[in-house]
Amino acid sequence: MTPVMRPAPSLEANEVSKSFLMGMVRLHVLQQLSVSIYPGELTLISGPSGCGKSTLLSLLSGLQAPDEGQTRALGQELSGLAKRALERFRLKHTGFVFQGFNLFPALTATEQVALPLGYLGFSNKDALERARQVLKEVGMSHRLDLRPASLSGGERQRVALARALAKRPQLLFADEPTSALDAENGQNVARMLQRIAHEQGSTVLCVSHDPRLTRHADRVLEMEDGQIQRDWRPSERDSAARREFA
């Protein structure tokens, strides 16, 4: 069997630990966990509630710093960066999709997407043009001038996705992006995440316990009690199943 040639990992956690104080008790969420995530793939972290999957995503995305260990993103050490430097890193390289859509009620779909581009130095004209283009890519070209109150849940999530994608991030983080969506909208969002990874070569790291996402993931990390219990690729399992069937 030929060894698979992989590019260098875009995200790395090296023996990271993270704990939180819950009242009088210190809760150890992650303990000396190491993992590497690769570009061009949709990596799914799944597991039961409280297993530490969202905490791992927050460490790898630079939203939080580990208590111990190191995190690296795009070859840059994140653990030692100051808050402002982390904000600059996120501005340049990362996109986020959260479970709640968190859209500003006063802004139209186009403005929601154009807003973060302003912080990158885009002019209003360029930002709005890029926003319309990205909204078109996520199938929202017919809802450009509507505010969140006039959009369905699926449409709002697509606007939130477009907002994360507008700056063409190398790293895209998604936390339970499909949990508030119906079957069809959930499938659509999952397909979009996979397409972004494959077509744009972005690193897409997604946290979810939605089984619909597993089908579209290139790699699945199953977590339990702060540890990765299983690291597998659905495509390899499918080929093995097909071979067995044949």
Partner 1 sequence: MIALARKTLFHEWRRFLPAILAIGFSGVLLTVQAALVLGIFGSAAVYVSSSSADLWAGYPGTQSVNFGRTISPDVEMRLRMDPDVTDVEPYLWVEGDWHGTHEKSGGVSVFVSGINTGRKGMMFSSLLSSGLRQRLEEPNAVIVDRSELDQLGVSLDQAAWINGHRVHVVAAIAGLRGLGGVNVLASLDTARLLQGEDSPGVGPTYYVAKVRKPSRVEAAQARLIANPSFGPFEVWTAKQFAWRSQLYWMFDTGAGVAVLFMAGIVCLVGGVITSQSLMAMVAASAREYAVLNALGASFRSLSQVVLEQSCWVGGLGLLVTGITSTVLLSVAARHDVPVAMNITIAMICAALVLGLALVSGLIAMRGLLRADPALLLR
Residues that bind partner 1 (CB under 8 A): 54-55, 57-58, 61, 63-64, 83-84, 87-92, 94-96, 98-100, 102-107, 111, 114-116, 118-120, 124, 127, 147, 160, 163-164, 167, 175-176, 207
Q: State in angstroms the smallest separation of the CB of 108 from partner 1.
A: 9
87/231 with CB nearer partner 1: 87
Alpha-carbon torsion, ordered 32, 33, 35, 41, to 10 deg: -150
Contact 97, 177 (CB under 8 A): yes
Tokens of 83: 């808050």
Q: Cβ closer to partner 1: 94 or 194?
A: 94
Which residue number, 10 or 61, has a Cβ lying nearer to partner 1? 61
Smallest gap from residue 91 Cβ to partner 1 (A): 2
User: Residue 222 to residues 48, 51, 79, 228: CA-CA distances in angstroms?
Assistant: 9, 10, 24, 6
CB of 95 to partner 1, least distance (A): 7
Angle of CA points 48, 53, 54, to nearest 5°: 115
Closest CB 119 distance from partner 1, rounded Å: 5
CA distances from 96 to 65, 93, 134, 152 (A): 17, 10, 15, 20
Q: Looking at beta carbons only, is 200 or 233 nearer to partner 1?
A: 200
User: Strand order in 42-46's β-sheet?
Assistant: 94-97, 171-175, 203-207, 42-46, 219-224, 227-232
Torsion sign over Cα 113, 114, 119, 120: positive
Least distance to partner 1, CB of residue 92, Å: 7
Q: Residue 205 Cβ, how far from partner 1 at the closest point, in Å?
A: 12
- Closest to partner 1 by CB, 134 vs 207, is 207
Of the pair 32, 124, the CB lying nearest partner 1 is at 124
